[in-house]
Amino acid sequence: MWAAEIATQRSMETDLTNPQPTLPKLELPVRARSKPTWTAERQGSRLQADNVFESLILLGALSLVAIVGLIVFELIHNSLPTLMKFGWHFFFSNTWDPVGGDFGAWAFVYGTLVSSLIALVISVPLGIAVAVFINELCPRSLRRSFSFAVELLAAIPSVIFGLWGIFVLAPLLRSYVEPFLAEYFGWTGLFSGPAYGIGMLAAGMILAIMIVPIICSISREVMLAVPQQQREGVLALGATQWEMIRIGVLRNARTGILGAIILGLGRALGETMAVTMLIGNSPDIAKSLFAPGYTMASVIANELNEAMTSLHRSALIEIGLALFIVTLIVNACARLLIWTSKRGMPARMRA
């Protein structure tokens, strides 16, 4: 009787899109629920010191939550003047006039979105390709050095990226890349206008370099969580190495890779220093990627210190509030996606 059930279930295992092999359901005894489940199971005898320790730790944990709450409260409280005066229109209006007192954040929202989009377009294929290479194709002896090099990229401070961008990337773009793009792809309208070197394209490229390590390392982890049986099964059916990677690994890891991409996006949205140094700091909306732009984080970093009027300050803090909420949502979604895809991983590799 058992054999028949197992045989039918095994025949369902050849469905290659299902990463979880089905097992026969086991009947476990239900534990008697006499205590409410939120009381921690206390082990051993307790002293006063244990209670004190537990309270201190609880206080520490709650303080972190309280800090986040306080940040939100302060942001809202300090942006009340512009919230009252401009309302929703603030995010769709294009003027930014500190002298006249007219503020509208659309140029910054646009700049943030476009620079992050350029960064994703460049870094997603690159990051996933590097992850696939390190995991599947790289000779074992070189694996550690490659992964170390990629993770080292994540450790570089963003100001250094900005400096490198100004002294190396911008002249390169100005002298070689932008004229080339203008000549062959100028018909798209995306590569027109004077080639300053710095501008939306430069900012997007530096952001791409900064988020490649994030996408790469998380994709690698997620790809490692795919069971070896998947790879072996696909190979056994006659797939080539690339087909094995595509069908056996990438397809199964796609939720986690999406999470990695969104996490990278979260970083790109909030990145300040490197972008401020390379984006040209001009709140204009232009179709061309050569034109200078402005992002939400850059305008706060640039103008908050010397903002003379309270309306100016409140406008900047409202931009900060918007950035905070967007980054919070993006990071939360990313974490959720990554968590769901790592559930199949053995516990020791999950952390």
As measured in angstroms, the least distance from the Cβ of 303 to another protein is 5
For residue 241, CA distances in Å to 28, 108, 139, 225, 245 come to 42, 45, 15, 19, 6
- From 276, 295, 314, 341, residue interacting with another protein (rule: CB under 8 A): 276
Nearer to another protein, 167 or 180 (CB): 167
- From 81, 98, 179, 344, residue interacting with another protein (rule: CB under 8 A): 98
- From 198, 200, 262, 275, residue interacting with another protein (rule: CB under 8 A): 198
For residue 34, CA distances in Å to 37, 41, 43 come to 9, 12, 17
Contact call for residue 298 and another protein (CB under 8 A):
yes
Stretch that binds another protein, among 120-128, 132-140, 260-268, 278-286 (CB under 8 A): 278-286
Residues whose CB is less than 8 angstroms from the CB of residue 146 and which lie 6 or more positions away in sequence, other chains included: 130, 133, 134, 138
User: In one letter, which amino acid is 290?
Assistant: F
- Return the bridge partners of 102, or none: 97
Nearer to another protein, 127 or 162 (CB): 162
Contact call for residue 96 and another protein (CB under 8 A):
yes
As measured in angstroms, the least distance from the Cβ of 168 to another protein is 11
Q: Please give the backbone phi and psi of residue 103, each rounded to the nearest 5 degrees, phi first.
A: -125, 135
* H or E stretch at 275: helix 273-278
Contact call for residue 182 and another protein (CB under 8 A):
no
Q: 210 with 158: CB under 8 angstroms?
A: yes
Site string for another protein, 226-265 (x = CB under 8 A): ----------------------------------------
Contact call for residue 44 and another protein (CB under 8 A):
no
| Ramachandran area for residue 88 (φ above 0: left; ψ -120 to 50: alpha; else beta) | alpha
Contact call for residue 95 and another protein (CB under 8 A):
yes
Residue 216's CB: how many other CB atoms inside 10 A? 29
Contact call for residue 157 and another protein (CB under 8 A):
no
Question: 178-196 b/e with 16+ CB inside 10 Å = b?
Answer: beebbeeeeeeeebbbebb
Contact call for residue 111 and another protein (CB under 8 A):
no
Tell me the torsion sign for CA atoms 80, 84, 86, 87. positive
Q: How far apart are CA 289 and CA 286, in angstroms?
A: 8
Contact call for residue 282 and another protein (CB under 8 A):
yes
Nearer to another protein, 118 or 132 (CB): 118
Name which of 161, 199, 158 is nearest 177 in CA terms.
199
- Return the bridge partners of 103, or none: 96
Site for another protein in 311-340 (CB under 8 A): 312-313
As measured in angstroms, the least distance from the Cβ of 286 to another protein is 12
Contact call for residue 308 and another protein (CB under 8 A):
yes
Question: How big is the site for another protein, counted in residues (CB under 8 A)?
Answer: 32
Nearer to another protein, 136 or 303 (CB): 303
- From 196, 235, 311, 324, residue interacting with another protein (rule: CB under 8 A): 196
Contact call for residue 197 and another protein (CB under 8 A):
yes
- From 119, 170, 257, 322, residue interacting with another protein (rule: CB under 8 A): 170
Q: How far apart are CA 261 and CA 147, in angstroms?
A: 18
As measured in angstroms, the least distance from the Cβ of 330 to another protein is 26
Contact call for residue 305 and another protein (CB under 8 A):
yes
Q: How far apart are CA 349 and CA 351, in angstroms?
A: 6
Residues that bind another protein (CB under 8 A): 95-100, 166, 170-171, 174, 194, 196-199, 276-277, 280-282, 292, 294, 298, 301-303, 305-308, 312-313
